[in-house]
Chain A
């Protein structure tokens, strides 16, 4: 008391620092220590889990393949009016020739064709055929004419040397750019650009640029006078390979998907496509994903609802039986919960198939004719039954933990006040058990909506979910962008539900195993 009254200034800790400061430091230390404990795991989860999810989100809009494979074409094509009935100008075809030659050397043209084929059927064959033929185009006339005027240009070493000159690179940017792509490709293949034959397309590039008025004082280029050259139409060359190159649809598709980022995969995932006037619905016969999303939602709802219907009585019984009996019966709920998912799925396959246990019993009982065995698998019914069974424990456990907290005396009180059994249940017990139903339903719904294994095995064609389509696009059709877009939509749906779950139940209250 006297100490404080005599002391001037703030209160001091034992070591003489102000108490406030000392406390703040201790608090900071504790915060740091806690964060240090959490940090390794946080980093681990970030790298092994969050980064992959972010990568998936990125892939759903990423579209660099077009501009990476056809850089010159994309630039030239930007000036083309997509509404015109005319295919693009000769310059676009020249750019395409350069790009496609590079792509076919690198074997990238089929990949690009496959990518564009997702948007417009038939493109992939145009790319494949052209990639095969592009090396044999009649452009060798340019090569011959250029070499006739400047014979040193036949040697690759001369090209390498020429490309060292900064002046020339400034004068002939397109040729320099193209040479760099070519040289870089050769180097990745382990070849020396100074030794490999210079391909026709490089001479053609040089010709295009000189024809368009570029000039260079370089001793190898100066002798060239291209005004009197014999020419060949590249548009004609491409037309010979595949008529599709003159179709405006093909060019419109390339132009639409030229940017590095696209909403195309997302539009595709909701049955739309990029048209000339913005997004538009796909033709009826190509619509599929909206139906699939609807089916996923509908079946998840049915499964959730059947789980409520089956889980509620069981949870009620478990919550109201004496402890010993309830614990014993709980095993019947926990055993399926702990049993491998594949075990349960395979046993449903055993039970539901046409020569399966249920059909056998029904036939033996005479309820079903042997010739008319029920089809219960490879359809929606099979998926719903199997998944209801698999997810039922996830419904019963949260319901049970909520019902355990409802005092049975409430029901007795209601009855003693004159309520009938039904009123007492419906007006007194049921409202108190709603949080359990909510928690269980959201849990089951979240799990159901992203299920893959069970629908894949017992779902057949009509009982599959959106997740099966995602898996199909990753492993079979290799349309990773579309898979990522479908996954992103599904993820968004789940995250909204998760948020709702957090609001209703709280993440901290998730309980496992009762």
Chain B
């Protein structure tokens, strides 16, 4: 984006106090951890005010000034907190160097409309900071488990060795545990036996039904749709309770088939929703054209319709797969010990707090979900492009 607003350097009376205020805040944090909040606050403010002034008025060269600030804070961090302090110090140093010149050069207004008042500019950036905090809230829990899964101890928490970046504090033993423990391997095998079969069931039934539903001649369309979507709406615990009661009556409780059927039922709404959404943009004259040229309905389906709705079918299938792969409530009730899946194993582990192997599994699962997310996103875009719904 090109600059909307012509920018100019700001006066000393603006940027020095603002940088000093930021320094005061950082100083407050460091000061509290070192025992004296007030002292930290004052030192931080004074230090940053001086740095800001010197960097802009004495050094003048931005590149050099920012490197010097970075080095200064890294050294400061080492002096205060040792090795972990270096990381924090470097982060602080990078931030203050950038912040000082960002304010000094007036770059903060570059992408904003020129008519904004200072208060509006302040609000604009406060809003960004708030949103940033919410994003941190969203993503931190997922990031935290990753380093912890390399913990050398059997704790669920960061050990002092890990904080000192001592290699002795890290190990792969929880991963090793996962790959060698027969219980976890059995659970993984069960998950991999159940999820694909359930997915296959829900995708094949679901795609057919979605094609049927997309015709405008279906009677009771709304009622049928409501029934097919219901497994997604009914709380899992209720589905689990009902399936437990009913499947024990007909002898499916505690069997592999029972779990697969239950998971297939849970996955169906996702297939229906994604495939009907894809079919909305499907041009029906294509099937008529195919029929016109002599293709029978089966050929038409596999050669004309299927390739076009395939992205929707695959992403519906991925949803169904992840539903089954992640599902724990229903399998807890419908399954028995020999159908123990990965999430079930994690659930019992968490309840009884056995080992951080759970965190290693969690990390692996996060990577699997990243892969799935990427695939679904690519498919969605491809499908939208095929149907000409969006330029990107």
Grouping DSSP codes into helix (H, G, I), strand (E, B) and loop, the A interface class, with mixed when no group exceeds half, is helix
With a cutoff of 8 Å between Cβ atoms, the chain B residues found around residue A14 in the complex are none
Distance in Å from the Cβ of B28 to the closest Cβ of chain A? 10
CB < 8 Å neighbour of B139 from A335, A351, A356, A421 = A335
Could you give, for residues 38-56 of chain A, a 1 whenever the CB lies within 8 Å of some chain B CB and a 0 otherwise?
1011101110111111111
Chain A interfacial residues counted at CB < 8 A: 96
Contacts known (A332-B139, A349-B156, A457-B347); A59 close to B245, Cβ less than 8 A: yes
Cβ B343 vs Cβ A340 within 8 A? yes
Cβ B134 vs Cβ A31 within 8 A? no
Q: Once the chains are docked, how many angstroms separate the CA of A313 from the CA of B138?
A: 13
Q: Once the chains are docked, how many angstroms separate the CA of A355 from the CA of B241?
A: 35
A333: CB under 8 A from chain B? yes
How many chain B residues sit at the interface, stated as a range, is 35 or more
CB < 8 Å neighbour of B235 from A336, A365, A491 = A491
Q: Once the chains are docked, how many angstroms separate the CA of A474 from the CA of B365?
A: 30
Cβ A343 vs Cβ B145 within 8 A? yes
Distance in Å from the Cβ of A244 to the closest Cβ of chain B? 31
Q: Once the chains are docked, how many angstroms separate the CA of A55 from the CA of B242?
A: 6
With a cutoff of 8 Å between Cβ atoms, the chain A residues found around residue B392 in the complex are 323
B41: CB under 8 A from chain A? no
Q: Give the segment of B13-21, B53-61, B97-105, B262-270 that binds chain A.
A: B262-270
Cβ A342 vs Cβ B347 within 8 A? yes
Q: Once the chains are docked, how many angstroms separate the CA of A38 from the CA of B218?
A: 9
Q: Once the chains are docked, how many angstroms separate the CA of A335 from the CA of B140?
A: 11
With a cutoff of 8 Å between Cβ atoms, the chain B residues found around residue A508 in the complex are 225, 276
B224: CB under 8 A from chain A? yes
Cβ B131 vs Cβ A467 within 8 A? no
With a cutoff of 8 Å between Cβ atoms, the chain A residues found around residue B315 in the complex are 513
A364: CB under 8 A from chain B? yes
Could you give, for residues 93-116 of chain A, a 1 whenever the CB lies within 8 Å of some chain B CB and a 0 otherwise?
000000000000000000000000
A456: CB under 8 A from chain B? yes
B302: CB under 8 A from chain A? no
Q: Once the chains are docked, how many angstroms separate the CA of A34 from the CA of B328?
A: 35
A449: CB under 8 A from chain B? yes
Closest Cβ neighbor of B84 among chain A residues: A364
8 A Cβ contacts from B5-58 to A: 29, 32-35, 37
Q: Once the chains are docked, how many angstroms separate the CA of A30 from the CA of B215?
A: 8
8 A Cβ contacts from B238-273 to A: 238-247, 249, 261-262, 264-265, 268, 270, 273
B148: CB under 8 A from chain A? yes
Contacts known (A38-B224, A367-B32); A44 close to B242, Cβ less than 8 A: no
8 A Cβ contacts from A116-165 to B: none
Contacts known (A30-B215, A343-B145, A367-B32); A52 close to B208, Cβ less than 8 A: no
Contacts known (A51-B246, A350-B359, A512-B270); A34 close to B264, Cβ less than 8 A: no
Cβ A48 vs Cβ B131 within 8 A? no
Q: Residue among B236, B315, B380 with the most chain A CB within 10 A?
A: B236
Could you give, for residues 20-45 of chain A, a 1 whenever the CB lies within 8 Å of some chain B CB and a 0 otherwise?
00000001001101111110111011
Cβ B229 vs Cβ A37 within 8 A? no
Contacts known (A310-B137, A364-B33, A483-B241); A507 close to B359, Cβ less than 8 A: no
A498: CB under 8 A from chain B? yes
Q: Give the segment of B72-80, B174-182, B285-293, B368-376 that binds chain A.
A: B368-376
8 A Cβ contacts from B121-148 to A: 123, 127-128, 130-131, 134-135, 137-142, 144-145, 148
8 A Cβ contacts from A318-345 to B: 322-323, 329, 331-336, 338-345
A172: CB under 8 A from chain B? no
A221: CB under 8 A from chain B? no
Cβ B273 vs Cβ A346 within 8 A? no
A450: CB under 8 A from chain B? yes
Cβ A334 vs Cβ B373 within 8 A? yes
With a cutoff of 8 Å between Cβ atoms, the chain B residues found around residue A322 in the complex are 1
With a cutoff of 8 Å between Cβ atoms, the chain A residues found around residue B325 in the complex are 340
Contacts known (A31-B218, A342-B362); A484 close to B245, Cβ less than 8 A: yes
Cβ A45 vs Cβ B265 within 8 A? yes
Cβ B141 vs Cβ A389 within 8 A? yes
Distance in Å from the Cβ of A513 to the closest Cβ of chain B? 6
Q: Once the chains are docked, how many angstroms separate the CA of A224 from the CA of B346?
A: 70
Cβ A52 vs Cβ B243 within 8 A? yes
Q: How many A-B residue pairs have CB under 8 A?
A: 286
With a cutoff of 8 Å between Cβ atoms, the chain A residues found around residue B222 in the complex are 507
Grouping DSSP codes into helix (H, G, I), strand (E, B) and loop, the B interface class, with mixed when no group exceeds half, is helix
Could you give, for residues 300-328 of chain B, a 1 whenever the CB lies within 8 Å of some chain A CB and a 0 otherwise?
00000000000000010001001001101
Contacts known (A41-B228, A313-B130, A357-B157); A340 close to B237, Cβ less than 8 A: no
With a cutoff of 8 Å between Cβ atoms, the chain B residues found around residue A513 in the complex are 315, 376-377, 380
Q: Once the chains are docked, how many angstroms separate the CA of A34 from the CA of B358?
A: 47
Distance in Å from the Cβ of A54 to the closest Cβ of chain B? 8
With a cutoff of 8 Å between Cβ atoms, the chain A residues found around residue B142 in the complex are 335-336, 339, 343-344, 347
Q: Residue among A339, A449, A513 with the most chain B CB within 10 A?
A: A339
CB < 8 Å neighbour of B359 from A346, A456, A487, A512 = A346
A308: CB under 8 A from chain B? no
Closest Cβ neighbor of A311 among chain B residues: B134
CB < 8 Å neighbour of B277 from A55, A348, A475, A511 = A511
Distance in Å from the Cβ of B250 to the closest Cβ of chain A? 9
B226: CB under 8 A from chain A? yes
Closest Cβ neighbor of B231 among chain A residues: A49
With a cutoff of 8 Å between Cβ atoms, the chain B residues found around residue A457 in the complex are 347, 350-351
Cβ A37 vs Cβ B211 within 8 A? yes
8 A Cβ contacts from B197-216 to A: 201, 205-206, 208-209, 211-213, 215
Cβ B157 vs Cβ A347 within 8 A? no
A392: CB under 8 A from chain B? yes
Distance in Å from the Cβ of A469 to the closest Cβ of chain B? 10
Distance in Å from the Cβ of B295 to the closest Cβ of chain A? 16
Closest Cβ neighbor of B369 among chain A residues: A338
Q: Residue among B219, B228, B276 with the most chain A CB within 10 A?
A: B228
CB < 8 Å neighbour of B138 from A336, A356, A421, A502 = A336
Pairs A–B under 8 Å by Cβ, sample size 6: A331-B373, A335-B373, A349-B350, A360-B158, A453-B328, A494-B235
Other than the given A364-B33, A450-B234, A484-B245, 18 more pairs (CB < 8 A) read A34-B215, A42-B224, A42-B228, A48-B262, A333-B138, A334-B377, A340-B326, A342-B362, A343-B369, A349-B350, A351-B144, A365-B29, A366-B32, A389-B141, A467-B235, A490-B235, A495-B233, A513-B376
Using a CB–CB cutoff of 8 Å, the interface residues on chain B facing chain A are 1, 29, 32-35, 37, 120, 123, 127-128, 130-131, 134-135, 137-142, 144-145, 148, 155-158, 201, 205-206, 208-209, 211-213, 215, 217-219, 222, 224-231, 233-247, 249, 261-262, 264-265, 268, 270, 273-274, 276-277, 315, 319, 322, 325-326, 328-329, 332-333, 343, 346-347, 350-351, 358-359, 362, 365-366, 369-370, 372-373, 376-377, 380, 392
